[in-house]
Amino acid sequence: MKNFDYMRVSLDFCLYPNEIVSRFAKRAVIVYATGGEGDDFVQSFKSDLDIKYVANLQYVTGHFECMPPIDPKIGEDIKDLDALVSVRKDEPIFVLSRKYWVELVDLLEAKGLKLGAELFFWEQGYPRTELISKFIKHNESVWSSEKIESVNKILVPFEDSKHWFEAGKSVPYAYVGNYLAKKYNAEINCYLRGHSVQRDLMYKHRTSRDISRSFNANGIFDVACNRQQTRDAKKLFDEIMSTVNNWHDLQNIKVDGIPLGNAIIRDYCRFFVPSVDMKSSPDFVRIVRRICRRIVFMLEYFQWHDDIKAIVLFDGVCREGPMRDIAVSKGIPTYALSYFGPAVKLDVGHPNNRHFGYYKDFFQQLSPKEQEIGLEWARRSLHARLQGNTKDIPYMKTSIYSVESGDRVLEQNDKIKLVICPHSLSDDIHCGWSVFGCFMEWLVHLGELSNRTDYDWYLKPHPAYFPNDVQLHADFVKHYPRIKMIPAMTPPKQLKEEGVKFAFTIYGTLGHEYPALGIQVINAGNNPHVAFDFCHNPRTPEEFDELIFKLPELADKPVDMQEIYQFYCIHFLYYKHANRQIQDIFFRRPELYPWLSKKQRNKLPLGLINRHKYYLEDWTPDFHEITKHKVEELFKEMDSRQADVFYKNDEAVIQAKLEAVGMTLD
């Protein structure tokens, strides 16, 4: 079992319930299980099988001990493995242990028993229905002629398949995988997203494995550490915990010269509530242990596999951070194709959005007529935005600018008033360079500055905040009591009326909204407004602090509205962003999108199971060829994208935006 290849070896010994019943109906069987898993088997099959013996095992200090029978009415108490073998005649043995099945099979194989002949598993994952079998056969008929056997490899993600909304995700990976395989003369390998060990794949996901094989996947990216890697991960963990004392230290962590602090921080902030005093958090310790195992495995994997030619990730953010940064550092083309964001080619850390720095140059590349039209469109559109229109920010259902002013929230005094506007923890920072490296370092730095200045400090949560944000903000103002928290839905116009002079963000949209109201914005990293002077863009912590200490001199600095309009028309009207969404490439109708929310799914007319059927009915050879062409064009676009090139929106897109505010190109 130690060298078992999960993908290449048949999993015929993993049996579906109907297979178990049809093959062993009324026959005597033996259950060799740990924990309550044997009990599950007994309850499911006691009316169909003659369950003769139940070995109920418990793992204790390096070995297995037999406990009393799970069901006293069934079989006998098996004292040890030798007793099991001695009472066994020719009964099949079902091994049931998600955690220890490898060890149990090793013990049984040492007694001369063989997988598929005498040892079996109960396949508890995705059921093999007739429709699913048709889906698999369809994929095989479509892709088998394009299968490539090569020493080169490309990697694509794969989702654990329980129903269409996971199986359907294999459709994009089939197309992009086979495109890249052909481009690099490589075979396709999958990696299982979100799994720290791969035992589940063999133990209960036979259908998932078969779906991936149906589009020419030849292997699995096994992310389970061996014993030596586990020891190395422990050593790396101890090193990090001994040298990291704050967020700055963590951000600057490098392993083998590769910056990996960002990957640790992203996972921590996405899955847990970060603590201002991070090392006191059990969650921090837990995530660092987990990421260290992943880092050690990935470093060794890429060290021993110099045949990886390209990698497709899901979103390239959480869980995939170490894989992303190690691959990019080694010069491997790495892409993100997720259902909620654009398809992009990745950099270390994530896309860097360097094109923001060229916005002023892009404006100068417009003709005088285009500039005139753009400035007027920006004036009208920004005015609508500040009145509550959300057409340019579709992720916000209700605009903060449509909220009426309420009771006063700020102190009435003559001090300079500053408001911190933090990003939501669910909003990963991936705009490129940052003054403080990460969101938490920036927030803690502002907290420290509040103790060193005689200003009035406030924190206003993002209007679209999440429960984790609430916990973080409460912890933050507890650590820094000179900062007062105000309601998230406090309208910016009220902040202006009550005396706010400056606001802090890293890269938020308030960078152009607040200056238009008369509130100066201090950014802390690359952001869409970085090419202009209507907000402050310090480049280093020293520049940032110098700016903070001279705020009284800047309090009445005028804002150049023409610059704001220049930014607005380039960013929202003329520039064609790399925001190619993938869903409409692979599916002919939205009902088949495999990444819909549960609420969206419930509104759709197609039944959950029937989506396989409708996908197969929609598929045609012509649509297949069109999809392949679109995938080729998508990758060409990602590969050729340059930061300093002005990609202009199509005329029809520009015209539609103009018409929305009563304008035309003429």
The structure tokens listed for 286 are 């837990």
- 88, part of any domain: yes
The confidence score (pLDDT) of residue 334 equals 94
Query: Residue 665: helix, strand or coil by DSSP?
Result: coil
Closest-CA residue to 359 (of 532, 564, 535, 559): 532
For residue 616, the number of C-alpha atoms closer than 13 Å in the C-beta half-sphere is 19
14 Cβ neighbours under 8 A, 6+ residues apart: 120, 121, 122, 123, 202, 203, 204, 206
- 233, part of any domain: no
Which CATH number characterizes residue 414's domain? 3.40.50.2000
Rounded CA gap, 229 and 214, in Å? 32
The confidence score (pLDDT) of residue 301 equals 87
The confidence score (pLDDT) of residue 594 equals 72
Amino acid at 83: A
The confidence score (pLDDT) of residue 131 equals 80
- 472, part of any domain: yes
The structure tokens listed for 225 are 């550490």
Kindly give the parts of the chain with pLDDT less than 70.
1-10, 67-79, 125-127, 159-167, 193-205, 219-224, 339-341, 349, 351-352, 390-398, 427-431, 579, 595-610
- 273, part of any domain: no
- 235, part of any domain: no
Specify the DSSP element, H or E, that contains 254. Answer: strand 254-255
Query: Residue 505: helix, strand or coil by DSSP?
Result: coil
The confidence score (pLDDT) of residue 605 equals 58
Rounded CA gap, 452 and 103, in Å? 59
Rounded CA gap, 189 and 517, in Å? 53
**Count of structural domains within the chain:** 2
The confidence score (pLDDT) of residue 332 equals 96
- The residues that bridge with 418 in the sheet, in sequence order, are 457, 502
The confidence score (pLDDT) of residue 196 equals 46
358 Cβ neighbours under 8 A, 6+ residues apart: 531, 643, 644, 646
Which of 80, 96, 122 is the last residue in one of the domains? Answer: 122
In angstroms and rounded to an integer, the radius of gyration of the C-alpha atoms of the chain is 29
pTM value is 0.82
The structure tokens listed for 584 are 């409409």
Rounded CA gap, 241 and 24, in Å? 54
- 65, part of any domain: yes
Which of 574, 603, 637 is the last residue in one of the domains? Answer: 574
- 32, part of any domain: yes
Closest-CA residue to 288 (of 257, 255, 315): 255
**Domain carrying residue 535:** 360-574
- 227, part of any domain: no
Which CATH number characterizes residue 111's domain? 3.40.50
Which of 99, 122, 145 is the last residue in one of the domains? Answer: 122
The CA dihedral of 290, 293, 294, 300, to the nearest 10 degrees, is: 170
Rounded CA gap, 262 and 248, in Å? 11
Pairing of strands 50-60, 63-67: antiparallel
The confidence score (pLDDT) of residue 58 equals 77
